[in-house]
Amino acid sequence: MEKRYLSLRYMLSYLMVAFLVFISSATYSFAETIDTSSNELLVKYAELPQSIAAPIPLPNTAEQVETVTSSVELLSFPNEMDLMQAAEQLEENPFIVAVEPNHERSVSVTNDVFYTNQWWLPHVHAEQLWPLAAKQKKQAVVAVIDSGIDTTHEDLVGRIAPGGFNFIDQTQNIQDVNGHGTSVAGIIAANSNNRKGIAGVTGSYGVSILPLKTVHDDGKSTVADNLRAIDYAIQKGVDVINISQGGTSPSAIEQDAIRRAMRAGIPIIASAGNDALKGNPTMYPAAYDEVISVGSVNQRNSRSDFSNYNNQVDIVAPGEQIYTTGISNHYVIANGTSFSAPIVAGTVAMMKAIVPELSVKEITEVLTKTAKDLGQAGKDAEYGFGLLNSKQVKAELEQLLIQKQTVPVTGISLNQTMIRLLAGEDGDAGEQTALTATITPSNATDRNVVWTSSRPTVASVSQSGMVTAVSKGEAIITAETVDGMYKATAKVIVDAPKPFVGTFADLTVNTSKQFVVKFNKPLAEGMNYKKHIQISKRADGQQPITTFNVTFNPAVPDQLIIAPQSRWELGTYYLNIRQGVQAKDGKLLTENVNMRFIVR
């Protein structure tokens, strides 16, 4: 969408020649300094009176115009050629002081010895995400299901999470003999700025590797070992799982394990495969819908000839001439989608470190939405949605940080602090009252409350704050914020139920019992007697029932028949005939009639 802020360009449309003498021509030194990574121009306008204004025409190839300061605008163009032509046009305008490319600025890069060999870091703009490390909210852990790790490698010291496991031998020996897992781990989390080796894609973030060894020394593994590793990673609560291995046979059981990880909020990143020249088979687990499948490109952004391609490929990342860590404290150059996947996995780890509550769906959407489109427009089999673009990922994360900004709770209070209730009778529930918790501030992110009772046998409380009297005694009801930082309490005194005194003795009846109520005078005809009769499950009239009929028989005018519409449910009932029942002579019943009956 084009955003135009015309106020900066409303300038004098007709001026005296003498005035033009005082307007400097735009300074322009462009050809030598153009930043090819950004098709954007910064345009600075002369400071002119605002009394008479008209818009300064802009090149029609400008896709977007944004205000930067009161006298500077940022113009975006679709390609470098349009940008160059526009720069020349703008430079001729006497009302424009300067036209410059929107040069990139970045933090000073690492001092790692072999950093200059890591062409893939700037290729995906990995360093663009590194400044956000200052906003990291949690330490992130990436489970690498592979051949283990060189536990003594100089560039991985302090980057290995405790709890790694060897699923081949069922031991804690995670030492890497093959070398593949060590290379994957280095791409993700090699120490940066330690004057040694390389820098992992996660830079200075607090990211560590949980090595889960399932790959034998010969480079082979099994679905069974990978299943155990996935479930182990779920139990450990890792943030990301990287699987740089695969096979041509799908497994419903393996896919179920991956779905368990997804439900636990753990994204799984897997390599698309290296057999494009060997029949291009579909490789699993990368091809499962729930997995982020990563293919490989070279420095020219062309698909690597070995990189498998199919409709399940989601994204691509560099996978050729990848300088990384090797076993025996060495460094190696690696090729393959096995080394493309950890670039994405490390990026996802940074995302989770900054916004821990990101769901797998949100992570996938950010990666695919921000990818640099390659090949055919839109998603295609060779490149998926395109090349990983951490620069745009950063922009999305900054927006998400604003949207998901956490507002902490500062207090909690209750609408009542002292409650008196009557217990129920004969196992019936007692009186109830609702407690309401007020969280401050009102816009706190997590306003959930946990309710507890110190004596549930005296007074119970639901998680909605409904307090129910159970038996005589005292209890304390507590409402506590989820983080456990704040509490509010209410004291509950439960009194014993008042004994029921009926007009007649209690009756024990069956489920079809009909009651015949006899009066000492004939009753008036045509009256609605049911409105004077209440049947409830509590002595105080609470929990009334209406599934009964009241019948008046003119042939026997001094009687009413009370019967269930179908059957009485088992339990205790209280029958109350209230004052107001009218006799034939116009006189009214002057006393309530009460009776308890028990249906068995």
Identify the DSSP state of 175.
B
Q: Are 483 and 530 in contact (CB under 8 A)?
A: no
Q: Is 146 a catalytic residue?
A: yes
**Chain centroid, CA 194 distance in Å:** 34
Q: 């590194």: which residue's tokens?
A: 130
- Assess contact for 493 and 426: CB atoms under 8 A: no
Which residue has tokens 């927006």? 399
CB burial class (10 A; 0-12, 13-18, 19+) of residue 136?
middle
**Are the beta carbons of 93 and 87 closer than 8 angstroms?**
no
> What kind and span of H or E run contains 467?
strand 466-469
Residues 76, 123, 146, 183: which is the catalytic one?
Answer: 146
∠ CA 293-109-339 to the nearest 5 degrees? 25
User: Which one of the listed residues 123, 125, 180, 532 is annotated catalytic?
Assistant: 180
Write the DSSP string, 386-405: -B--HHHHHHHHHHHHHHT-
CA distances from 109 to 22, 112, 203, 392 (A): 43, 9, 9, 19
Among 338, 340, 390, 453, which one carries the catalytic annotation?
Answer: 338
Cα separation, 394 vs 128, whole angstroms: 7
CB 56 within 8 A of CB 91: no
d(CA 164, CA 368): 31
CB 75 within 8 A of CB 3: no
Contact 209, 159 (CB under 8 A): yes
Is 217 annotated as catalytic?
no
Q: Catalytic site residue 296? A: no
d(CA 313, CA 388): 13
CB 419 within 8 A of CB 461: no
Contact between 150 and 182 (Cβ < 8 Å): yes
Question: What are the angstrom distances between the C-alpha of 171 and each of 174, 214, 327?
Answer: 8, 11, 20
DSSP string, 276-323: TTTT----BTTTSTTSEEEEEE-TTSPBPTT----TTEEEEEE-SSEE
384 and 371 Cβ atoms separated by less than 8 Å: yes
Contact predicate 462/451, CB 8 Å: yes
Q: By C-alpha distance, which of 163, 362, 166, 342 is closest to 242?
A: 342
Catalytic residues: 146, 180, 338
